[in-house]
Amino acid sequence: MISIEEKLYIGGEWSAPVSKKKIDIFSASTGEKIGIVPEASQADVDAAVAAARKALHSKEWGGLNGAERGLILNRFADAVEKRGNQLAKSVSMQNGMPLIMSEQLESGFVVGMLRYYAALATSLVDEERRQSPLGFSTLVRRERIGVVGAIVPWNFPVALSIMKIGPALAAGCAVVIKPSPETVLDCYILAEAAEEAGVPPGALNWVPGGRDIGAYLVTHPGVDKIAFTGSTAAGRAIAQECGRILRPVSLELGGKSAAIILEDADLGSFLQAIPSVSMLNSGQACFSCTRILAPTSRYQEVVDGVASVISSLPIGDPLEPSTVVGPMVTSAHRDRVESYIAKGKTEAKLVLGGGRPKHLDRGWYVEPTVFAGVSNSSTIAQEEIFGPVITVIEYKDDSDALAIANDSQYGLGGSIWTPDIERATNLARKLETGTVGINGYLPDFNAPFGGVKASGLGRELGPESVSAYQQYKSIYLMG
Ligand code: NAD
């Protein structure tokens, strides 16, 4: 049991929270209470925003150039790398992500991202002089946007925080991060890393809390931009508030991505990739390809192959190195997933799973589940289930596959499987989505990641992400 009762990391210091309220942290795999942390109050958020504003105007942070910020980001990467195992374990203990995944995605991937942003900070060009067609010249400046309110979910708590912290610090912003109440212990490890790395006071601050504290941060007068990852419903509510007060906002939201298996695909390589492409974090990943589109000629072969691979995936304790499928994050979330499975039983043919694993008598587990004979218009094909539930949908030809894949309110990920890269690339160009993988799927640090339609607004990752934390200023040099 980890008890962090009396401290919040605000303004580069461990300060006592104003509120006496606490957040209990539970293990998704046992249901037991494993930690207790303070819940930030509005007064704590006020203090964090004030510290961030102060940092913007301080010599130690606001006075640095890109190269100097790059050095700090690199030191932060070193300190995070030292704590890589601790971070991965902490995430797995809380949200139930299998350790083999958290070791990569919540640890190694995160350090890589920080180093990427360190290099980017060093190469940023802040000012460009342009000749105006009107006869004078103009200095075009890219200035940091200011204080960023970052709100993240529980499914990849570290990576999704760093996807905001990296570009924001590269641009010279200061950040107030509100983690999800299900996953807060990892934040304390990141805060210790920031302290050890000498991240200047106020550049990074954490305010653990629920929706109310998130909503308070969204409209806080001292915040200049909101960077949100979470559900489409919450994203819409946040966008509405940001629209009302004209506050820049970027939104990484839900998804219901399609994996299109072309008739010449090497099915074996797709099946091998299923744990990462369609079942990542036990299906609790926004870009998971949970709609598998199979051609009529190979439909049964795909259904049988998918069911056979999924039935063989080890399910159990996320801290066991062999585990590939862990629990759902909370019992409430398991209820939600199970209600979709119940709905699916009325809409399609249940091929595998559908219940709770018999050998696990505690924790929030759901059997990996496969539905066949699924219509793309059914609820289980249209709504984000966010659990280990796969639908296999039949298509006639490439244009039918494209129409089915695009017939979704979402547009975040997707994948196409075929040895014919040109054909796949042409199809990828026509998919209404922010990212597509060909014969695999993995977000690239050096390329924009994000969604279209109900999957969000704006992009993270890649050099493009830094501009989301900057604003332009034009200085007309007229005399
Ligand atoms: P959620 O929207 O319920 O919560 C996400 C975060 O927002 C939490 O910190 C929560 O406390 C906060 N929050 C909720 N409502 C808020 C409000 N009105 N104002 C301010 N803050 C608010 O989502 P979740 O259940 O934690 O996460 C799962 C969702 O996140 C899924 O829909 C998933 O697809 C999405 N997600 C998207 C991406 C992406 O990159 N597109 C990545 C991971 C997860």
Q: What is the pLDDT along the chain (479 residues), one digit of tens a residue?
A: 788 878 999 999 999 999 889 999 999 999 999 999 999 999 999 999 999 999 999 999 999 999 999 999 999 999 999 999 999 999 999 999 999 999 999 999 999 999 999 999 999 999 999 999 999 999 999 999 999 999 999 999 999 999 999 999 999 999 999 999 999 999 999 999 999 999 999 999 999 999 999 999 999 999 999 999 999 999 999 999 999 999 999 999 999 999 999 999 999 999 999 999 999 999 999 999 999 999 999 999 999 999 999 999 999 999 999 999 999 999 999 999 999 999 999 999 999 999 999 999 999 999 999 999 999 999 999 999 999 999 999 999 999 999 999 999 999 999 999 999 999 999 999 999 999 999 999 999 999 999 999 999 999 999 999 999 999 999 999 98
Active-site residue identified among 173, 187, 286, 289: 286
What separation in Å is there between the alpha carbon of 286 and the centre of ligand 1? 10
Nearest CA to ligand 1 atom 42: 286
Total number of residues shown for the chain? 479
413 lines ligand 1 (CB under 6 A): no
**Is residue 286 annotated as part of the catalytic site, yes or no?**
yes
Q: What angle do CA 270, 253, 181 make, to 5 degrees?
A: 105
- For ligand 1, say whether the CB of 108 is within 6 Å of any of its atoms: no
- Which residues, other chains included, contact 354 with Cβ-Cβ below 8 Å and sequence gap of 6+? 341, 344, 345, 367, 369
User: Which residue owns the Cα nearest ligand 1 atom 22?
Assistant: 211
Q: Which pLDDT score, from 0 to 100, does residue 1 have? A: 79
Centroid of ligand 1 to alpha carbon of 384 (angstroms): 13
Q: Strand 22-26 relative to strand 33-38: parallel, antiparallel, unpaired?
A: antiparallel
Distance CA 449, CA 436 (A): 10
φ and ψ at 114, to 5 degrees? -65, -40
> Which residues have CB under 8 Å from 269's CB, separation 6+?
417, 439
Which pLDDT score is estimated for 5? 72
CA 298 to ligand 1 center in whole angstroms: 37
Strand order of the β-sheet with 204-206 is 204-206, 174-178, 147-151, 225-229, 249-252, 456-457
Q: Among candidates 78, 76, 58, 55, which has minimal Cα distance to 203? A: 55
Model pTM?
Answer: 0.97
Output the CA 153–ligand 1 centroid distance in Å. Answer: 5
CA distance 282 to 274: 11
Q: What is the pLDDT of residue 31?
A: 97
Amino acid making up residue 308: S
Closest-CA residue, ligand 1 atom 36, reads 230
Spacing, Cα 285 to ligand 1 middle (Å): 12
Q: Residues 300, 461: contact at Cβ < 8 Å?
A: no
Say whether 367 is catalytic.
no
70, 58 Cβ separation under 8 angstroms: no
Return the residue whose CA atom lies nearest to atom 3 of ligand 1: 231
Nearest to 153 by CA among 145, 142, 161: 161
For residue 371, which of 473, 302, 418, 421 has the smallest C-alpha distance? 302
Question: What's the burial of 361, exposed, middle or buried (CB within 10 Å: 0-12/13-18/19+)?
Answer: exposed
Tell me if 438 CB under 6 Å of ligand 1. no
324: helix, strand or coil: coil
Supply 62's token pair. Answer: 């606001």
